[in-house]
A and B are shown apart, each in its own frame.
Chain A
């Protein structure tokens, strides 16, 4: 008979506790301006007058990762993204119109894109919770570029990217994980 590795009760409890509380080690995307990194499988909200600049810099730092850039009416300027070395060849732009919600849900369910950037989504708590669950399942980061902060508990990280003397100033407003 094969010998079974004995495990102590305290180790077992720790393992069970880890599973129940979901304290698994979360993967993160590196970001020079955020020391702890940007969590994967979570919603991240970016506000402020330099929010898109921060998103472009984040994409430039994480080259090679497939990205979906979703907006109801596209106003993002791909030439400027290329100028900031965000890697246009791996970004799919989607002009969703009225189907913004459907598009985000489809993208998250497909688990194809590790990073999804969405602009000005005015959604309630329940919709955001749905995005969060799907993002968690897909291990994807949903970057929400918003004008104002959304008071929703399901957003894991809230960043304020402001402009100071033509440079981007970062402030973490909320960091849950």
Chain B
């Protein structure tokens, strides 16, 4: 095994760079958006190490990326070497490099936090470099710090263990893309004929997705326009990030229609459309390959997703939601918006009104009357107070809530705050 580590020093799409590295080896792995590993051990007869490094440098220049390249016999060593800027004296590296040995592919987000704690504890014991750490007897480490530290110790001391790390091979995500070039007789200058002709490529995309038990999450639609001097944008492109994944052209078409209707009303097409492309850029797990003959669950879920998608696209994602109760006493914080229906938290307090005013409206009391804006209520009965006090950690609150019955038959939920102000917060309607 011979591993090249390309550690990026800037931000960019590492997947694109990884794709270009297929020329060297198919064994490619990614450490999130931080680094790329190439196992070139099996292709050393094709390329020398020096040649790989020089070609990688040329590629980095072509992509406009900045990175440190390091070579080693295993993944953790290559990563540690790249992190240290090519410092090959492993034993002199500080203890913080232990993370590179524990989780070089950054699979578990918790590892970094745990390693930092372990490093602090070890530093307090006078162990400051990887060399110091290697010299500590492993038995003493396991009893104090657990099995994680033993793994790091073994990977540092035994190259065979470091080489046997499972290799999460990265694959280029296959693009699902369908195109339709229009015939001369297919005159397309507005939405209706375009939607008609869009249906075919969209349907093919969905059929390909269904074959893999996937559904579309994000789509890209592109129109190629006839080029004229007055056409400012000969290629129009739209990205559709769907609220819920869709698996059929029938559920997608209304969404596309609404989006394009709005977009083309804002900026109409400047010339005839010559070709259109539909590309599925992001997918989500879908249903099994064949529809279930015995129940309609899939169809129902598809209809539900389609509807939610349309509503969210038109009204905004934050305006279509489920609600769940939370364990907080302050009425306005006692519930939260969610994407899916959640189990209810048992409610620890008394009766709440079905209508809540956000924000609460200031009230004035004149004798037996309560006044708000142009409204006036005569108090007939008062029930309370119920004191709500707390949330001292963020926004300290102290309110006395009352239920007020009025002459008109309405029931108000009002409160008096710590400064004596009266507010209308809800209605028992």
B410 located at the interface, meaning its Cβ lies under 8 Å from any Cβ of chain A in the complex: yes
The residue in chain B whose Cβ has the minimal distance to the Cβ of A56 is B354
If A77-B354, A80-B353, A163-B409 touch, does A97 touch B341 (CB 8 Å cutoff)? no
**How distant is A90 from chain B, measured CB to nearest CB, in Å?**
6
A143 to B80: give the CA distance in the assembly, Å: 65
Among B41-49, B162-170, B273-281, B316-324, the stretch in contact with A: B316-324
Q: Which of A89, A94, A95, A97 has a CB less than 8 Å from the CB of B343? A: A89
What per-residue 1/0 map shows which CB atoms of B341-361 lie under 8 Å from chain A?
A: 111100100011111111000
Q: Evaluate contact between B354 and A106: CB separation under 8 angstroms.
A: no
Interface size of A in residues (CB-CB distance below 8 Å): 37
A58 located at the interface, meaning its Cβ lies under 8 Å from any Cβ of chain B in the complex: no
Q: Evaluate contact between A50 and B429: CB separation under 8 angstroms.
A: yes
Q: Evaluate contact between B355 and A82: CB separation under 8 angstroms.
A: no
Q: Identify which of B320, B323, B325, B344 gathers the most chain A CB atoms within 10 Å of its CB.
A: B323
B127 located at the interface, meaning its Cβ lies under 8 Å from any Cβ of chain A in the complex: no
Interface size of B in residues (CB-CB distance below 8 Å): 42
Among B54-62, B185-193, B306-314, the stretch in contact with A: B306-314
A91 located at the interface, meaning its Cβ lies under 8 Å from any Cβ of chain B in the complex: yes
What per-residue 1/0 map shows which CB atoms of A142-177 lie under 8 Å from chain B?
A: 000000000000000000001100100000000000
A56 to B354: give the CA distance in the assembly, Å: 9
Q: Evaluate contact between B325 and A75: CB separation under 8 angstroms.
A: no
Q: Evaluate contact between A95 and B315: CB separation under 8 angstroms.
A: yes
Q: Which of A51, A88, A103, A163 has a CB less than 8 Å from the CB of B411? A: A163
**How distant is A163 from chain B, measured CB to nearest CB, in Å?**
5
**How distant is B354 from chain A, measured CB to nearest CB, in Å?**
4
**How distant is B51 from chain A, measured CB to nearest CB, in Å?**
60
Q: Evaluate contact between A75 and B323: CB separation under 8 angstroms.
A: no
If A53-B428, A77-B355 touch, does A110 touch B307 (CB 8 Å cutoff)? yes
Q: Evaluate contact between A99 and B331: CB separation under 8 angstroms.
A: no
A112 located at the interface, meaning its Cβ lies under 8 Å from any Cβ of chain B in the complex: yes
A97 to B341: give the CA distance in the assembly, Å: 23
B76 located at the interface, meaning its Cβ lies under 8 Å from any Cβ of chain A in the complex: no
Q: Evaluate contact between B429 and A94: CB separation under 8 angstroms.
A: no
Query: With a CB–CB cut-off of 8 A, which chain B residues contact A103?
Result: 311, 314-315
Query: With a CB–CB cut-off of 8 A, which chain B residues contact A52?
Result: 354-355, 429
Q: Evaluate contact between B315 and A99: CB separation under 8 angstroms.
A: yes
Query: With a CB–CB cut-off of 8 A, which chain B residues contact A53?
Result: 354, 428-429
**How distant is B120 from chain A, measured CB to nearest CB, in Å?**
43
**How distant is A73 from chain B, measured CB to nearest CB, in Å?**
9
A111 to B335: give the CA distance in the assembly, Å: 28
**How distant is A119 from chain B, measured CB to nearest CB, in Å?**
9
B22 located at the interface, meaning its Cβ lies under 8 Å from any Cβ of chain A in the complex: no
Q: Evaluate contact between A82 and B347: CB separation under 8 angstroms.
A: yes
Q: Which of B352, B358, B409, B429 has a CB less than 8 Å from the CB of A79? A: B352
Q: Evaluate contact between A106 and B311: CB separation under 8 angstroms.
A: yes
A78 located at the interface, meaning its Cβ lies under 8 Å from any Cβ of chain B in the complex: yes
Q: Evaluate contact between A78 and B315: CB separation under 8 angstroms.
A: no
If A94-B311, A110-B307, A162-B409 touch, does A89 touch B341 (CB 8 Å cutoff)? yes
User: Restricting to A56-97, which residues have a CB under 8 Å from any CB of B?
Assistant: 56, 75-84, 88-97
Q: Evaluate contact between A94 and B411: CB separation under 8 angstroms.
A: no
A sample of 11 inter-chain contacts (CB < 8 A) reads: A50-B429, A51-B429, A52-B355, A78-B335, A81-B354, A88-B325, A89-B343, A92-B321, A93-B323, A162-B409, A163-B410
Residues of A within 8 A of B (CB): 49-53, 56, 75-84, 88-97, 99, 102-103, 106-107, 110-112, 162-163, 166
The 3 lowest CB-CB distance pairs between A and B, nearest first, are: A89-B341, A78-B323, A77-B356
